């Protein structure tokens, strides 16, 4: 979606092929809904999303569904603002796979100051339940991201509020009970998160927009019980970029994300980092007119490429550019992470395979997993160069693991084209 533009200049829903062709505007918002700020989700039949303004008589936003071919648009729920069910949602919905959509609004609710609400609603628009009316000091305030779930709890962040005023990490049961603030940001440890959390094992990972060591935001992890907070990386103005305005993506080895501004070009960066905070690498700096600036939102991975959008830049006729859709990836062949390990992986130009070069002096078991953890192939390899049948793998990102009698000794990421 876009939050402006289209026939009524209040945003659009679009589709585009992964090679950049086939762009089609499925719908232009207007009338009862407009200015969507989040992303779309799918239940397999419909796409669901929210707008931040212009729904019904209250101008408070709505929840809608639409089929992927652009038909069947339905306004299933209108937010009604102050002292009611919330207004101005900035994030996306979460679908539980069977019955309910869960989400948050950034303002209003019963609280006098309108700090936002957490809610659930059925996919047909019935059964709206306000799970939590946010109350600044107690729960945090004004969330601008989305919820995730482990099946029992919903997890999210607020942009402000909490005991220091810089936002919180919280969890709440899907029935609205046992709401708990897991962590309070205090600027020193990060502040004002604008994106979503992701879950890896027992840890939640996220980013803050401000605060941290350099005041420019950070990457952190925290256990889902609220313990073990770790500041993994602090962004820097002229180096890695500043002010991340979205969420992280995990491929099994690295976390990928974007910063909204600065870096080598001041227009933002695309980066990767390991889950332990090591291996930070700026993959790309946005350049404004050529490839966009001010990336907002999150990345997705399709066929070994990263895809995302920028809020500005590009060649559009808007002031500062209208934004871009981009993909990032290497040239044909095999890419590997820049690490010094006890084995290396590189393309075999004679075939659609890759070669593994082992320096250890013993027989190894090689296993290749896709990003979901599914085992794709197993092969016994010896010291030296061994040809691996990558032709059996579709385009994508894979983890190559070597193990001996003592367990896994190392692994690295490869991208098969």
Is the full-model pTM beyond 0.85?
A: no
Q: Which domains does the chain have, with CATH numbers?
A: 12-328 (2.120.10.30), 334-416 (2.60.40.3080)
**Per-residue model confidence as pLDDT tens for the chain (417 residues):** 999 999 999 999 999 999 999 999 999 998 778 999 999 999 989 999 999 987 556 788 999 999 999 999 999 999 987 667 889 999 999 999 899 999 999 988 665 668 999 999 999 999 999 999 998 778 899 999 999 998 899 999 999 999 999 999 999 999 999 889 999 999 999 999 999 999 998 999 999 999 999 999 999 999 999 999 999 999 998 778 999 999 999 988 899 999 999 877 789 999 999 999 999 998 888 988 888 999 988 999 887 789 999 999 998 888 888 999 999 885 333 344 333 345 666 666 666 667 777 665 566 777 777 766 667 777 777 666 767 766 667 766 777 777 665 555 555 666 665
CA distance 256 to 51: 27
Cα–Cα distance list, 257 to 29, 84, 392 (Å) = 29, 36, 30
- 246: which DSSP letter? S
Structure tokens belonging to residue 269: 């960066």
Kindly report the backbone phi and psi dihedral angles of residue 166, in degrees, each rounded to the nearest multiple of 5, phi listed first. Answer: -110, 15
Q: Which two tokens stand for residue 180?
A: 């708990």
Count CA atoms closer than 13 A to 232's CA, side-chain side.
22
């Amino acid at each position: 979606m876009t939050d402006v533009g289209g026939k009524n200049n209040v945003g659009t829903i679009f589709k585009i092929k992964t090679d950049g062709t086939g762009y089609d505007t499925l719908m232009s918002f207007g009338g009862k809904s407009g200015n969507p700020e989040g992303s779309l989700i799918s239940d397999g039949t419909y796409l669901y999303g929210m707008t931040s303004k212009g729904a019904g008589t209250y101008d408070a936003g709505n929840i809608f569904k639409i089929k992927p071919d652009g038909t069947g648009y339905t306004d299933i729920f209108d937010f009604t603002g102050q002292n009611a069910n919330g207004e101005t949602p900035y994030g996306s919905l979460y679908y539980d796979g069977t019955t309910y959509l869960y989400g948050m609004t950034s303002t209003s609710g019963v609280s006098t100051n309108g700090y936002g609400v957490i809610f659930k609603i059925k996919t047909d628009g019935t059964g709206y339940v306000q799970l939590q009316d946010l109350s600044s000091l107690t729960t945090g305030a004004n969330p601008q991201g989305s919820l995730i779930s482990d099946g029992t709890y919903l997890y999210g962040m607020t942009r402000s509020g909490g005991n220091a005023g810089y936002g919180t990490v919280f969890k709440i049961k899907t029935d609205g009970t046992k709401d708990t603030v897991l962590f309070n940001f205090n600027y020193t440890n990060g502040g004002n998160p604008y994106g979503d959390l992701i879950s890896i094992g027992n840890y939640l990972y996220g980013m803050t927009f401000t605060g941290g060591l350099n005041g420019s935001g950070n990457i952190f992890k925290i256990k889902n019980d609220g313990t073990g907070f770790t500041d993994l990386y602090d962004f820097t103005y002229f180096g890695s970029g500043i002010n991340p305005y979205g969420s992280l993506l995990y491929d099994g080895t690295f976390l990928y994300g974007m910063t909204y501004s600065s870096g080598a070009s001041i227009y933002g960066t695309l980066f990767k980092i390991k889950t332990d905070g090591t291996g930070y690498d700026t993959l790309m700096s946005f350049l404004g007119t050529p490839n966009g600036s001010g990336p907002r939102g999150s990345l997705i991975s399709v066929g070994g490429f990263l895809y995302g959008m920028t809020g500005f830049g590009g060649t559009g006729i808007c002031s500062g550019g209208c934004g871009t859709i981009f993909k990032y990836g290497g040239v044909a062949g095999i890419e590997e992470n820049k690490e010094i390990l006890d084995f290396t992986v590189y393309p075999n130009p004679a075939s659609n395979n890759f070669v593994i070069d082992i320096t250890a002096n013993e027989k190894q078991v090689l296993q290749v997993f896709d990003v979901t953890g599914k085992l794709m192939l197993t092969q016994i390899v010896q010291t030296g160069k061994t040809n691996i049948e990558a032709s059996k793998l579709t385009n994508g990102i894979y983890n190559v693991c070597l193990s001996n009698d003592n367990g896994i000794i190392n692994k690295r990421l490869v991208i098969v084209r």
